[in-house]
Structure 1
Amino acid sequence: MKMINKLLYFALAITFLSSCDQEADVPTPKSGEADFSVFVSLGDSYSAGYTDGALSRDGQESAFTTLMAANLSGLGNEGFSVPFLPAETSVGSSLEGKMELQVTQSGLAPVTTEGNPELLTDPSTWINDGAPYHNVGIPGARSYHLVAPQYGDYTLGAGNFNPFYARFATAPGVSTALSDALSLNPTFFSLWIGGNDVLGYALAGGEGESAGMGGDDITPAGVFGQSYDLMLSSLTGQGAKGVIATVPDIDRIPFFNTVLPGMLELTAEQAAALNAGYQQYNDAAVQYNLEKITFTEGANYFVVEDEDHPLGMRQIETDEKILLTARTNITAAGWGSQSPVPQEYVLDKAELTAISEATEAFNGVIRDRAGQFDLALVETNDLLGATAEGLMVNGISYNNAYITGGVFSLDGIHVTARGSAILANEFIDAVNEKYGSTIPHVVVNNQDGIIFP
């Protein structure tokens, strides 16, 4: 009887496990209304795989576009070529390498490595002979750059072209990022562009024009719209379907939200010393009926430069921002206390308004064109809003906190490999919903996060 019971128990267990396996089965991949045979990606550093302050082979392999393409392989995708850097190399826009967490005299901190500048400065290292590539993600690219042939013309000299594109352009100075993508006759595309059209201004502390065409200026909305329309009409004109994405608000990005305005912690002695040091300033403030600069024990607001202020400096306000790059000198050089934080590291109310209005204008264009061209749409603010609140993925929690959150990399702007996987799944969900496809998800926790020493 005991043996019969054991056999019966075993049979029931097998039946139960089998039913669990069936419930956990991933749906059979299908294309739905889309054709994924030739997938191309147009975009900026996110599409390219820029992370930890540089482009690297590891970052390219874990870009959301690369991860997404890998999951299209079971849906007839014929391959996704990437202009890979050599293994174990990296180079950023400053010609330095990736940032790494290292133990320093002040504790655990991000440190920029030496990198491989020759990858951008020596044309003999470029890989144009492999062009066109399916991943046309270009770090630093703005909307109008993707349709400009000069963007890949290295003979124009520094500042007039982008070596990240020149190194893999089909014909530098002749082809455009868009024409390279079109030459592959894509059946499906992703386009995520517009971040740099406003981010350059934000990263420069608003030192550019609020609407201009210089290196740190915000791109005029009309220029953005014209460039965007040209790209979408050209891509869909060949019959391709696709997915596009909005521009995230900088309130979702740790580079602009890690050094908070009221984070200056002082002892009573430090506060008294600073009050004495600013006495002459405060005498003048009283004379001109201006706010004084004062400090107390505990949390205080940083002092910042302000060229529009009658006395050239003031304490920052709650709804203004200090860039992440000011953090080191706040500690080492006394920025924000003994001396004001330089203006190029601060975004004031007027600058934040210009950034917000531009972002809204660009996103208005993107949302409108998603309907006009019948494309899948990813709302990046919705995703980053979810991660800001804390996103649980297979038992691991992710959020937007700098270093510890798991989503953003050490540069505070670009994502980690796990952040890329989260992005890839958001794009996949948008495509599946729009076209009735069942592209499988990327396994987020199989990707790397920030590496601790």
Structure 2
Amino acid sequence: MKTFKNLKYLGLVALAISITACNKEEDFEEFLDQPPVEEAALPALTSGDADFSNYVAIGASFTAGFTDGGLFIAGQEDSFPNTLSKQFAKAGGGTFTQPLMDDNTGGILVGGTVARGYRFVFGGAGPVALDDFLASQGAPVPPITTEAGVNIGSDWNNFGIPGAKSWHLVAPGYAAANPFYARIASSASATVLGDAVAQNPTFFTLSEVGGNDVLGYALSGGESDTTAENYDPITPVATFDDALNALIAGLTSNPNTKGAVGNVPDITSLAHFTTVPYNPLEPSNPDFGPQIPLLNSIFGALNPIFNAVDPSRAIVFSETENSPVVIFDENLADISATITNALSSSPTFPAFIAQFGLPPAAADTVAALLGSTYGQTRQATENDLFVLPSSSIIGTVNNANVAILMGQGLPQALAGQFSVEGVTLPLADKWTLTPQEQQEIATATAAYNSSISSIVSSNGLALVDLNTILNQAASAGIQFDDYNMNTSLVFGGLVSLDGVHLTARGYALMANSFLDAIDTTYGSNFRASGNVAKADDFGVNYSALLP
């Protein structure tokens, strides 16, 4: 049985373009005969009850302008707070300063060592790291020059700290854990909130508070093993509430300060979790299709056991349609012992393993291996989500598992055949968000948003419903001037190449959403006066050749 090559960024290699037919000549003549339409005069801009003279933004990655998997100068210049500040400047707003990175690589150093690598660019079929793309083109790769250990001062208007959770923003000494904050913290024991309040804002925005509190868990595939390297649990609601109350109390300590607060979007609707299909195994794939009969024979020995326990666990690969991958599901009852005992006691099992060149004496060992491998497995369904990096894992051989199987006495070739990710080796928990894990995220998100809505209302602040906006973009798309933007990777226009953060145009849409909420709450008229961001002024991709 052969293994087959991995499938990267499935469905991203084609882009359809439709062109409408030309109108008839007489249609143009009729149009030219019409009298010109005069544009209605727009009202003068007013700031309402808000004072924008000293605007300070506090939050996480979105606030910072993080995009395409990195923080870099061009992205920061298109951050939604910087775009907001340009409109505020027309209504009495002052200078808005940001702690710009030193280059456009998207990376950052800690002690001269790369702590975060290069940003993504579009490589033709999907996102590719900038350094890999440039090297493939024979172009020079710029060095990462931003050093986290070099503090550039703490007097800024933008306190967007990539990676920060709600409670990180009020935690003393957080600079030691976050290289982005280390660059601008006023002291080793400072808090992000304290440094932001020290700027004496007359107006503030607070955004993504709560976003990273669920995002880390989602990015880990809902990893529940506390010993796992990527373990990142959802922040308890009580902890979130304490942090939120502290943030709002600090930012409104001056009773004259006004502000706008964004709630938490449904992050599982982002491209990072919706791009990789649950059924990418194509029978037309020459490395997979010919193996289907043998695979079905192998799982045919297990399916009677699965059917007796739970028929939904049966594993069958189609020879005519795409098949789902095989996944580990921690929510399933562990039937490892049941599988092992059933196979060990089967009089036909020794003959079954003989087709792989194994002697009858290996029956008990193989039965135990199959039991431990498939005790909590099933094929994926359309209700499962897969993190974007899984696209480069599905169909590859897990060499660590090969070594384990060889240690149990299997020949190397056979060990490799039983170590194909998503086929003979169930995808690990870190690659998949099951419906139960998605529900945990949804429950926390709803609780966070309830708290945000309550405290925003009680303090007379503006609420920006980012949750509804993203849900609309993920379903029917959302209109921004002449563009209908959605959450699809690369071609949707809203979400950047990392599948989580926004494009420049996406951040401009976000800025306008804040302006709309500010208009509603404080009586300003940015929208009515035409003082909003224009979609055509913002792109969706950054060049690989940014200086």
TM-score (norm 2): 0.72
2:271: which partner in 1? Answer: 254
Q: 1:265 aligns with which of 259, 279, 282?
A: 282
- Kept after mapping to 2: 8 A contact 1:209/1:218: no
Q: 1:85 to 1:272 in 2, by over 3 A?
A: same
The CA deviation at 1:233 is 1.3
Higher RCO (CA 8 Å, separation ≥ 6 residues): 2
1:9: which partner in 2? Answer: none
Q: Do structure 1's residue 180 and structure 2's residue 267 form an aligned pair?
A: no
- Kept after mapping to 1: 8 A contact 2:78/2:504: yes
Greater strand content: 1
* Matched residue type, 2:495: F
**Structure-2 separation of matches of 1:367 and 1:204:** 28
Q: 1:63 aligns with which of 79, 99, 123?
A: 79
2:338: which partner in 1? Answer: none
The CA deviation at 1:272 is 2.6
Counterparts of 1:279-290 in structure 2, within 5 Å, are: 279-286=300-307, 288=309
Task: List per-residue Cα deviations over 1:259-314 (Å, max 9, x = no partner).
Answer: 23234332464533431343343354356565310111213222112345421322
Q: Do structure 1's residue 437 and structure 2's residue 524 form an aligned pair?
A: yes
Counterparts of 1:289-368 in structure 2, within 5 Å, are: 291-296=313-318, 297-307=320-330, 308=332, 309-310=334-335, 311-330=375-394, 332-333=396-397, 335-368=421-454
- Kept after mapping to 1: 8 A contact 2:266/2:470: no
* Matched residue type, 1:253: L
Secondary structure of 2:327's counterpart equals strand
> How many pairs are equivalent?
418
Q: 2:38 aligns with which of 20, 35, 44?
A: 20
Q: 2:539 aligns with which of 443, 448, 453?
A: 448
Segments of structure 1 that go 5 or more residues without pairing to the other structure are: 1-12, 155-160
Task: List per-residue Cα deviations over 1:50-77 (Å, max 9, x = no partner).
Answer: 1001111111110111111111111111
**Structure-1 separation of matches of 2:484 and 2:58:** 30
**Structure-2 separation of matches of 1:209 and 1:166:** 30
Q: 1:57 to 1:271 in 2, by over 3 A?
A: same
Q: 1:100 aligns with which of 121, 130, 137?
A: 121
- Kept after mapping to 1: 8 A contact 2:486/2:492: yes
Secondary structure of 1:36's counterpart equals coil
Secondary structure of 1:278's counterpart equals helix
**Structure-2 separation of matches of 1:435 and 1:276:** 68
Task: List per-residue Cα deviations over 1:67-95 (Å, max 9, x = no partner).
Answer: 11111111111111100012433216951
Q: 1:209 to 1:364 in 2, by over 3 A?
A: farther
**Structure-2 separation of matches of 1:451 and 1:384:** 22
The CA deviation at 1:43 is 0.3
Moved more, 402-411 or 320-329: 320-329
What is the percentage of aligned positions where both structures have the same residue?
A: 33
Q: 1:164 to 1:385 in 2, by over 3 A?
A: same
Secondary structure of 2:322's counterpart equals strand
**Structure-2 separation of matches of 1:94 and 1:264:** 35
2:232: which partner in 1? Answer: 216
Secondary structure of 1:385's counterpart equals helix
**Structure-2 separation of matches of 1:209 and 1:433:** 45
Q: 1:397 to 1:452 in 2, by over 3 A?
A: farther
Secondary structure of 1:243's counterpart equals strand
- Kept after mapping to 1: 8 A contact 2:105/2:130: no
- Kept after mapping to 2: 8 A contact 1:91/1:116: no
The CA deviation at 1:141 is 0.3
Q: 1:283 to 1:303 in 2, by over 3 A?
A: same
* Matched residue type, 1:341: L
* Matched residue type, 1:127: I
The CA deviation at 1:215 is 6.2
User: How well do the aligned residues superpose, as a CA RMSD in angstroms?
Assistant: 2.5
Task: List per-residue Cα deviations over 1:110-134 (Å, max 9, x = no partner).
Answer: 111347655245x13x312xx2211
The CA deviation at 1:190 is 0.3
Task: List per-residue Cα deviations over 1:409-441 (Å, max 9, x = no partner).
Answer: 010000000111111111111111111112321
Moved more, 302-311 or 192-201: 302-311
Segments of structure 2 that go 5 or more residues without pairing to the other structure are: 1-31, 109-113, 132-141, 336-374, 398-419
**Structure-1 separation of matches of 2:440 and 2:273:** 15
Secondary structure of 1:65's counterpart equals helix
1:385: which partner in 2? Answer: 471
* Matched residue type, 1:431: I
- Kept after mapping to 1: 8 A contact 2:264/2:448: yes
**Structure-1 separation of matches of 2:43 and 2:497:** 36
**Structure-2 separation of matches of 1:318 and 1:289:** 18
The CA deviation at 1:252 is 2.3
Q: 1:300 to 1:215 in 2, by over 3 A?
A: closer
**Structure-1 separation of matches of 2:247 and 2:171:** 11
* Matched residue type, 1:148: A
**Structure-2 separation of matches of 1:397 and 1:289:** 44
**Structure-2 separation of matches of 1:430 and 1:332:** 48
Q: Do structure 1's residue 240 and structure 2's residue 260 form an aligned pair?
A: no
TM-score (norm 1): 0.86
Q: 1:209 to 1:365 in 2, by over 3 A?
A: farther
* Matched residue type, 1:231: L
